[in-house]
Amino acid sequence: MPTRNRAGILRDTSSMTDLDDLRYPIGRFSAPASSGPETRAAQIQTLRQLPEQLNAAVAGLNDAQLDTPYREGGWTVRQLIHHLADSHANSYVRFKLALTEDWPTIKPYDEAAWAELADSSLPIDISLTLLTSLHQRWVALLESLSDDDFRKGYVHPESGRQNLAVVLAVYDWHSRHHTAHIVNLRTRKGW
């Protein structure tokens, strides 16, 4: 049965455990039943709003708070922000590859290893600025696409063919998912 979490985000709690609640505060990704223009417009709006929502989610946090994991064994808030920049930059490039090549095979990357690299300890403003610029370009690209364009895609070596409509849905979820990690941590800690 769907319920709203502390951040007001609707999620399916029918199979959630406490760890699942922390790891998947809005639920696990599930492809939407429809990927028509109205659904895509809402998903694009999520991407448009992400930089502003992230800035609000981390406003006023000090270094100790930024270096706090959102759950035991999870990434810190700082790592989450840098991960979003890494992941969304990769996705933006993959969209452009799919639009300019015939079902290209993309190269996956090790997200956990990237989160341990030295640049993941930099101030978050660097990645917040990157996300702002990146999302302005990404949203402009997405808004220019036709229905046929959203049927294009790429081949992921681990998960197979992915069309751009589904990938957009993934990144709508991904944006809300990680923002909820931060908002829920702040709520639990009273920050």
**DSSP category for residue 3:** E
Residues 6+ apart with CB under 8 A from 57: 179, 182, 183, 186
Residues in the chain predicted with pLDDT less than 50, given as ranges, are 1-16
123-133 pLDDT, tens digit per residue, is 999 999 999 99
Task: Give CA–CA dist 4/25, Å, rounded.
Answer: 10
Domains and CATH numbers, the chain: 2-24+35-189 (1.20.120.450)
Strand partners, 161: 155
The helix (H) or strand (E) run that includes residue 26 is none
Query: Residue 115 and residue 121: Cα distance in Å, rounded?
Result: 9
Q: What confidence score (pLDDT) does residue 8 get?
A: 43
* 33-57 confidence digits (pLDDT tens): 888 999 999 999 999 999 999 999 9
Residue in the block written with tokens 């931060």: 182
C-alpha gyration radius of the chain: 17
Amino acid at 132: T
DSSP character at residue 163: E
Residue type, 150: F
Q: How far is it, in rounded angstroms, from Cα 70 to Cα 55?
A: 17
pLDDT score, position 3: 46
Task: List the beta bridge partners of residue 76.
Answer: 69
Which of 188, 190, 173 is CA-nearest to residue 9?
A: 173
2: helix, coil or strand? Answer: strand
